[in-house]
């Protein structure tokens, strides 16, 4: 992906969403966003001590005592609310949607929840022997995952231009540096070690689901093969011709656009997103939107 950073619209996914709410396609990223919004509504209505939010946040001591659901629910917890919470949800939506366009809803679910659970496990293992070295609070909210997805997007497109022509790789360096300096400055050592480990986790998970294919130095963990469903061609109207046993049944016709899209998806599956030229990337987006409107 080249050129300047542009805001895209949600949707555009070649595969079907998990479900639809009216005209809204709900894929993996949008599902997490909607659940985060529901969590904010609960935050506004529950008592001041926030018992529900504290019950789903990732607090290592509680995980060690058997509350393992926290490893998966912490991105939905909101222990506080300010303007940056809304910004974090927005950036999670944007970068998550852009990545989901390329890898599909199932791989996106593996990337998001695999990263969240493994980060929670590592945070718990790091925190338990270091009690007292940082504030009690653990992991909560989509901010951490949003940052990790943004870094994956930048690593996948290091030369993309953001606002004012700033290259993506420089934005990535600044994001990591700010996080490290802040955590180190306040001596939140557990959070710092967990963040550094989460960078490794998300890199491995991203390569496992088909991203960062050209980063051969990242360990490649093979996941179960997720077969991409091909879209059925529209049914043809007209008289029905009975096929006899003397000839094989005719294959359903495939449109030219669908054939071109399938060829690009096969190339991505075989060699990764970086194997596409700029022209092929643009053609991929055009074909996806064109077929989706049919």
pLDDT in tens, 241-271: 555 555 555 555 557 777 777 787 777 777 7
pLDDT (0 to 100) of residue 48? 92
Q: Which parts of the chain fold into alpha helices (H)?
A: 28-45, 51-56, 60-64, 70-73, 83-127, 143-156, 168-185, 189-208, 256-271, 278-292
Instruction: Say if residue 6's pLDDT is above 50.
Output: no
What is the percent of the chain with per-residue pLDDT over 90, rounded to a whole number? 46
Cβ–Cβ < 8 Å for 104, 226: yes
pLDDT (0 to 100) of residue 190? 86
* pLDDT per residue as tens digits for the range 64-73: 889 999 999 9
Domain ranges of the chain: 19-208, 256-292
pLDDT (0 to 100) of residue 5? 40
Task: State the DSSP H helix or E strand holding residue 11, giving kind and residue range, or none if neither.
Answer: none
Look at residue 39 and give its three-state secondary structure.
Answer: helix
Pairwise pLDDT comparison (112 vs 280), residue with the higher score: 112
Across all residues in the chain, what is the average pLDDT? Answer: 81
Q: Rank 6-15, 201-210, 256-265 by mean pLDDT and report only the highest.
A: 201-210
Instruction: Say if residue 30's pLDDT is above 70.
Output: yes
| Cβ neighbours of residue 165 closer than 8 Å, sequence gap 6 or more | 4
Q: What is the pTM of this model?
A: 0.70
CA–CA dist 41, 238 (Å, integer) = 52
- Indicate the class that CATH gives domain 19-208: mainly alpha
Q: pLDDT tier at 146 (50, 70, 90 boundaries)?
A: very high
């Amino acid at each position: 992906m080249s050129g300047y950073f542009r805001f895209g619209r949600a949707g555009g996914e070649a595969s079907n969403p998990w479900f639809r709410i009216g005209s809204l396609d709900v894929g993996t990223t949008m599902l997490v966003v909607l659940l985060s919004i529901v969590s904010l509504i609960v935050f506004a209505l529950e008592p001041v001590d926030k018992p529900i939010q504290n019950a789903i946040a990732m607090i290592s001591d509680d995980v060690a005592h058997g509350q393992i659901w926290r490893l998966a629910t912490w991105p939905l917890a909101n222990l506080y609310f300010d303007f940056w919470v809304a910004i974090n949800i927005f950036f999670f939506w944007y970068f998550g949607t852009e990545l989901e366009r390329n890898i599909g809803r199932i791989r996106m679910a593996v990337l998001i929840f695999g990263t969240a659970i493994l980060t929670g496990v590592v945070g718990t293992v790091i925190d338990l022997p270091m009690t007292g070295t940082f504030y009690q609070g653990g992991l909560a909210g989509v901010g951490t995952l949003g940052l990790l997805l943004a870094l994956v997007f930048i690593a996948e497109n290091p030369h993309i231009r953001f606002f004012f022509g700033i290259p993506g790789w420089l934005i990535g360096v600044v994001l990591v540096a700010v996080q490290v300096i802040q955590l180190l400055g306040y001596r939140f050592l557990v959070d710092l070690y967990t963040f550094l480990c989460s960078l490794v986790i998300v890199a491995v998970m991203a390569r496992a689901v088909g991203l960062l294919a050209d980063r051969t130095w990242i360990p490649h963990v093979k996941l179960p093969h997720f077969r991409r469903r091909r879209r059925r061609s529209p049914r043809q109207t007209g008289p029905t011709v009975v096929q006899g046993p003397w000839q094989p049944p005719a294959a359903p016709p495939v449109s030219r656009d669908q054939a071109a899209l399938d060829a690009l998806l096969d190339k991505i599956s075989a060699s990764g997103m970086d194997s596409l030229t700029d022209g092929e990337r643009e053609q991929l987006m055009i074909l996806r939107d064109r077929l989706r409107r049919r």
